[in-house]
Amino acid sequence: MPWVSLLLAIGSLVVSADEYRERRARLRAAIPDAAIVLEGAPDTSGDPRSPMLQEPNFYYLTGWKEPGAVLVILPASVEPNEILFLPPRSERKERYEGHRVAAGDADATSRTGFAKVMSTDVWEAEVSRLMQDGNVPRRMKLAEAAPVIAKLRMVKSRREVDMIQHSIDVSIEAHLAAWRRAKAGLFEYQLAATMTQVMMEQGCERHAYRPVVGSGPNSVILHYGFNHRRMDSGELVLMDVGAECNAYAADITRTIPVSGRFTPRQRELYELVLGAQKAAIAAVKPGASMGSRGEVVEAAKKYLDTHGKPIHGKPLSTYLTHGIGHHVGLEVHDASADVPLAAGMVVTIEPGLYIAEENTGIRIEDMVLVTETGAKVLSSALPRSASDVERRMQH
- Chain residues in the site for Mn ion (CB under 5 A): 251, 348
CB closer to Mn ion, 34 vs 192: 192
CA distances from 87 to 66, 96, 103, 269, 381 (A): 9, 16, 8, 56, 45
CB closer to Mn ion, 41 vs 347: 347
Nearest distance from C-beta of residue 101 to Mn ion, angstroms: 35
> Could you give the CA distance from residue 52 to residue 285 in angstroms, rounded to a whole number?
37
CB closer to Mn ion, 82 vs 251: 251
Nearest distance from C-beta of residue 205 to Mn ion, angstroms: 19
Nearest distance from C-beta of residue 327 to Mn ion, angstroms: 10
CB closer to Mn ion, 227 vs 348: 348
Nearest distance from C-beta of residue 365 to Mn ion, angstroms: 5
Q: Are strands 82-86 and 117-119 parallel, antiparallel or unpaired?
A: parallel
Nearest distance from C-beta of residue 333 to Mn ion, angstroms: 7
Q: Are strands 236-240 and 117-119 parallel, antiparallel or unpaired?
A: unpaired
Nearest distance from C-beta of residue 136 to Mn ion, angstroms: 42
Nearest distance from C-beta of residue 52 to Mn ion, angstroms: 24
Nearest distance from C-beta of residue 150 to Mn ion, angstroms: 18
- Indicate left, alpha or beta for 295 from its phi (over 0: left) and psi (-120 to 50: alpha): alpha
Nearest distance from C-beta of residue 256 to Mn ion, angstroms: 17
> Could you give the CA distance from residue 283 to residue 35 in angstroms, rounded to a whole number?
40
- Indicate left, alpha or beta for 35 from its phi (over 0: left) and psi (-120 to 50: alpha): beta
- Pair 276, 366: CB distance under 8 Å: no
Helix or strand or coil: residue 363? strand
CB closer to Mn ion, 298 vs 366: 366
CB closer to Mn ion, 57 vs 348: 348
**Which are the contacts of 365, defined by CB distance < 8 A and separation ≥ 6?**
240, 251, 252, 253, 254, 325, 348, 349, 350
Using CB atoms, what's the residue nearest to Mn ion?
A: 251
CB closer to Mn ion, 188 vs 251: 251
- Pair 37, 71: CB distance under 8 Å: yes
Over the range 62-76, which residues count as b (16 or more CB within 10 Å of their CB) and which as e?
bbbebbbbbbbbbbe
> Could you give the CA distance from residue 182 to residue 180 in angstroms, rounded to a whole number?
6
The total number of residues written for the chain in this structure: 395
Cβ-count burial of 195 within 10 angstroms (0-12 exposed, 13-18 middle, 19+ buried)?
buried
Number of Cβ atoms within 10 Å of the Cβ of 39? 15
Nearest distance from C-beta of residue 310 to Mn ion, angstroms: 27
CB closer to Mn ion, 75 vs 294: 294
Long-range contacts of 8-17 (CB under 8 A, 24+ apart): 12/159, 12/162, 13/162, 13/163, 13/166, 13/245, 13/246, 14/246, 15/63, 15/157, 15/159, 15/160, 15/163, 16/159, 17/63, 17/113
Nearest distance from C-beta of residue 296 to Mn ion, angstroms: 14
CB closer to Mn ion, 251 vs 298: 251
**Cross-strand bridge partners of residue 118:** 85
Cα 34 to chain centroid distance, Å, stands at 30
CB closer to Mn ion, 277 vs 348: 348
CB closer to Mn ion, 117 vs 332: 332
